[in-house]
Amino acid sequence: MPAYRSPSPRHTRRPRPRTAALLGVVTAVIALVLTLAVPASAAQPPRPPGPGERVEPGHAYMGVGTRIEQGRDSGHDTDITPADTSGVQGIDVSHWQGYINWNSVRAAGIDFAYIKATEGTSFKDSRFGQNYTNAYYAGLVRGAYHFARPNYSSGATQANFFASNGGAWSADSQTLPGVLDIEHNPSGSMCYGLSTTQMRNWIYDFYTTYKYRTGRDIVIYTTASWWNTCTGYWSGMYDKAPLWVAHWHVSSPTIPSGFPTWTFWQYTATGRVGGVSGDVDRNKFNGSMSRLLALANNTA
């Protein structure tokens, strides 16, 4: 029997270039399949812009200007009196929340939601249609909001754009009147370069145009600091627009000048709710569920 000899380098098999390329393709395909296998609900939403970061057109969200005034709500500060989370609870969302499981939101005790529809003159939120429809089928009372950019165009122009792209209203027991989100400018001077008189006229033009288009009074979302500074303590909307006040870190909100009381209160920007990945704004309605439905249906 001949003695055993180890194979010489000349006889050692090496992967052929074609085989190595094929292995690379297979590996890439497997990685892609594993990525697609992750459910959309598990995907983390992108991080929204924070204080000090320039907010490009179309990327603003309810509370982005409030963060400049009041800071990011940690939700865990020991010296902050917890907000009242009893009663009729709601959230507000935009594309920054990513995928939302609205059935889980409803199961978590959330009764209403406001969803970003438009911004300025031409920007439409990419997730508005999906959120608005799915919230409806999950049984929430929901409405749309418009992020104001008073330095872009007139109030009438933006109200028409909003009413034509999600901000309309119908008496179906599940549609709230639209919201004018007007707060600290996230991309420049606090009052968008307008004088107090110009700002009052802008808001009033938005209000009258929206009411002409929908038959409803607009809800105004703002802060006491912004409103008092940029409208000059204006009382012209006292009996015209329900107030949605944003005030974090407190047990009760400060009311802007010229409003009798608050209808909605955004009490935190870092709430947690089942069905939403990460932080979400949480809100409280100032009344019972029957009163919320009366607001939705425009009844006494």
Q: Which string of DSSP letters, residue by residue, matches 143-207?
A: EEEEE--TTTS-HHHHHHHHHHTT-----SSSBPPPEEE--S-TTSSTTTT--HHHHHHHHHHHH
Q: How confident is the model at residue 7 (pLDDT cuts 50, 70, 90)?
A: very low
Give the CA angle between residues 215, 221, 225 to the nearest 5°: 140
215 or 33, which is more confident: 215
Structure confidence at residue 142 (pLDDT): 98
Residue 117 domain flag: yes
Catalytic residue among 69, 111, 125, 181: 181
Catalytic residue among 111, 119, 183, 279: 183
- Is 281 a catalytic site residue? no
Question: Residue 42 carries which DSSP code?
Answer: G
Residue 6 domain flag: no
- Look at the chain and count its residues: 300
> Is residue 29 predicted with pLDDT exceeding 70?
no
Residue 95 domain flag: yes
Residue 273 domain flag: yes
Residue 44 domain flag: no
- Is 84 a catalytic site residue? no
For residues 197-205, give the mean pLDDT. 98
Q: Alpha-carbon distance 176 to 112, whole Å? A: 9
Percent of the chain scoring above 70 in pLDDT: 78
Residue 9 domain flag: no
Sign of the C-alpha dihedral, residues 173, 174, 176, 178? negative
Closest by CA to 90, choosing from 298, 228, 268, is 268
Tell me the residue range of the domain where 167 lies.
58-297
Which pLDDT tens digit goes with each residue over 49-96?
655 566 766 778 998 888 888 875 444 443 456 677 889 999 999 999
Closest by CA to 223, choosing from 167, 280, 282, 264, is 264
| pTM of the complete model | 0.82
Least confident residue range of 17-31, 141-155, 183-197, 252-266: 17-31
Catalytic residue among 69, 92, 111, 279: 92
Q: Alpha-carbon distance 48 to 152, whole Å? A: 22
Least confident residue range of 187-191, 199-203, 225-229, 260-264: 187-191
Residue 245's domain is classified under what CATH number?
3.20.20.80
Residue 38 domain flag: no
For residues 1-9, give the mean pLDDT. 43
Residue 128 domain flag: yes
> Is residue 259 predicted with pLDDT exceeding 70?
yes
Q: How many domains would you assign to the chain?
A: 1
Q: Alpha-carbon distance 221 to 226, whole Å? A: 11
